[in-house]
Structure 1
Amino acid sequence: MLGRMVCFVLVAAAVAKPRQPKSTYVKVPVVPEPTTCGLANLLRPQPDLFADATFEGAFVSAAEAAVREAAGAAWKRLDSNQDGNLDVDELSAAVRASWKSKRFQPPAHTWVFLWALADTFRAKDLSRSARVSIAEMDQVVDKLLRSVKFLDERRALFDDIAGPGVGDEEGAFSKATWEAWRAS
């Protein structure tokens, strides 16, 4: 009886040990969630974005195009080995470089994309693959563009530019209004 118990304890102890030390596990770096998607900062530098009268539909298209363009630039910047895949190691290097004086300060227009990439890695089984293709991240950007956070920010920005309630009934803003907002 005692021999069986000792044998059971030894087998249980051997099975419970991980195959590799936990310190060597691939880890997703912590990226603080941004307070906004940064849409105003993406649109403000573009002077010729809108023509005479800009309706909300055109604004929506321009906002989505600006986010997709910024995402493409962020992925290109992150893909240090230029293999078309984003690795956890590449994300970790970018996140490490973004911490300055205990504050997270990533390069312009990249924070929301670093966060989205980290969130994607957190949802994956990193023991099987610690990379995602840039094409997969395009689908993540599509989800971001449909997120409540982004949609609320986009509507608030349109109302900020055009004035409250303008976008509700096929309203529009003029080029002069756009230029005044850009200058503010």
Structure 2
Amino acid sequence: MARQPWSNNEDILGLRQELAVIEDEIHILAKQTIPRLRVDNEMEYRDIIQGGMKLEEHMHALKLIKEEVLVLSSEKMELEALCKELFVKVQSLYRELEQIQSENKQIPAIREGLHDIQEEISRARMAYEHEKRAKVELLEESQAIESDFINIKIEAQRLRTELEKRRSGVFKHHAFGSYYKKIEHGIASSNW
């Protein structure tokens, strides 16, 4: 059913009162609620802005952390390479140590061998000194024998010469018979 136009004043007055109430409510809303909404919105905006700034700070911090992580990752790779190199060196040193320990185990036998060699050298030196003295003695004996031989040779030569002189003198002055008589009596042997 269609509404009838306002016919009476009471309706208009009632509508005006309702309108006044609505206007009061709008006025209250405009004075209290809207500023409160604005304040709430501003606080939300401020929170959002602050959250964005914090997020930006976190992003910046994360960027720095990312750069630091990259540096640390690079250092980690270098340290791993160095660790491998050191491991190889340690293995090499262990092998050298084992070799040295093996050689050290041989030292007593080497010392004993050296001691035996020193004793052998000492015996050889004593034998050499003995041979040297014996050689000197033999050389002295040889020289003495040679000197005696030369003296005997000289004496033999002298005796031969004297014998030749006597023979030639005996054969000249004596006849064969008288020479043989002297020999028989031992005179010839005493003159020699």
Tell me the TM-score range normalised by the shorter chain.
Answer: under 0.3
**Could you tell me the TM-score, scaled by structure 1's length?**
0.23
**Could you tell me the TM-score, scaled by structure 2's length?**
0.22
Larger radius of gyration: 2
Bigger RCO of structures 1 and 2 (CA < 8 A, at least 6 apart): 1
In terms of fraction of residues, the more helix-rich structure is 2
